[in-house]
Structure 1
Amino acid sequence: MTDTIYYLASCDTCRKIIKSLPKSANLKYHDIKQDPITVEELEYMRSLSGSYEALFSKKAQLYKSMDLKNKNLTEDDYRKYILEHYTFISRPVFIIQDKIYIGNTQQNMLQVMKALENV
């Protein structure tokens, strides 16, 4: 599979991260709003991350407005919500040489930069 970044073009944080990537980074850019994540892509991400919950964004506005924090969500629920609406996936998600990096924490971004140097 091609090294890929799954991101949201309208997200300021994602745009800032993309600008900071090395010019040599040979990534496929996948805007999840224009081109929703497929079942196959999500299954692959889950196989790398270990769970759908790891991919799920609890910061999403819909998470709060749908009152999901007060529900006992299962792995099937996380999968369903991620496939239903792009806002439920933590962003960005990088897949680099069959390793997954989820979210925009400083630690995660340092690991992404290191991984991109070694490609």
Structure 2
Amino acid sequence: MKKIYHLASCSTCQRILKDVDAVNKQAELQDIKTEAISPAQLDEMKKLAGSYEALFSRKALKYRSMGLHEQALTEKDYRKLILEEYTFLKRPVAIVNKQIFVGNTKAVVEALQKAL
């Protein structure tokens, strides 16, 4: 299985999809803004990543505006927030044959490219 959760309006996600040649490598793409992540999909990501916190983006604009930076969040909180607001998912998230790649650091993108 090759699946990439991304945001179509995000220039970083678009660049990464192009760099890893996701379309030609027949990866299934899911735009998380138009097709929300299901609880089952998020739970599968958590199982592979180890925690919901690893999938959570503190760079999301709403993180500070909601005052979340001043709170001690639990795994339950991270799960709830990601399901309620797609911008809290660290992007892109790719799952390739039971391996997960989260975020857009150079090392993650290179590892994803090799796995695809």
Query: TM over 0.5, yes or no?
Result: yes
> Which category describes the TM-score, using the shorter chain as reference length?
over 0.9
CA distance in 1, matches of 2:72, 2:109: 30
Q: 4+ residue runs of structure 1 moved beyond 3 angstroms?
A: none
1:95 corresponds to which letter in structure 2?
I
Aligned position for 1:34: 34
Bigger drift between 85-94 and 16-25 goes to 16-25
Could you say which structure has the greater relative contact order, defined with CA pairs below 8 angstroms and 6 or more residues apart? 2
Superposition pairs for residues 34-113 of structure 1, below 5 Å?
34-113=34-113
The CA deviation at 1:24 is 3.5
Deviation string 1:4-60 (CA, Å, 9 cap, x unpaired) is 000000101001111112353120000000000000000000000010000000000
Query: Which sections of structure 1, spanning at least 5 residues, go unmatched?
Result: none
CA contact (8 A) 2:20 2:112 kept: no
| SS in structure 1 at match of 2:43 | helix
1:44 corresponds to which letter in structure 2?
E
Instruction: Say what the alpha-carbon RMSD is for the aligned residues.
Output: 0.9
Aligned position for 2:19: 20
Q: Give the number of equivalent residue pairs.
A: 115
CA distance in 2, matches of 1:29, 1:64: 29
CA contact (8 A) 2:5 2:31 kept: yes
CA contact (8 A) 2:52 2:78 kept: yes
2:49 corresponds to which letter in structure 1?
S
2:57 corresponds to which letter in structure 1?
S
The CA deviation at 1:64 is 1.1
Aligned position for 1:114: 114
Aligned position for 1:4: 3
CA distance in 1, matches of 2:14, 2:2: 18
Identical aligned pairs, as a percentage? 48
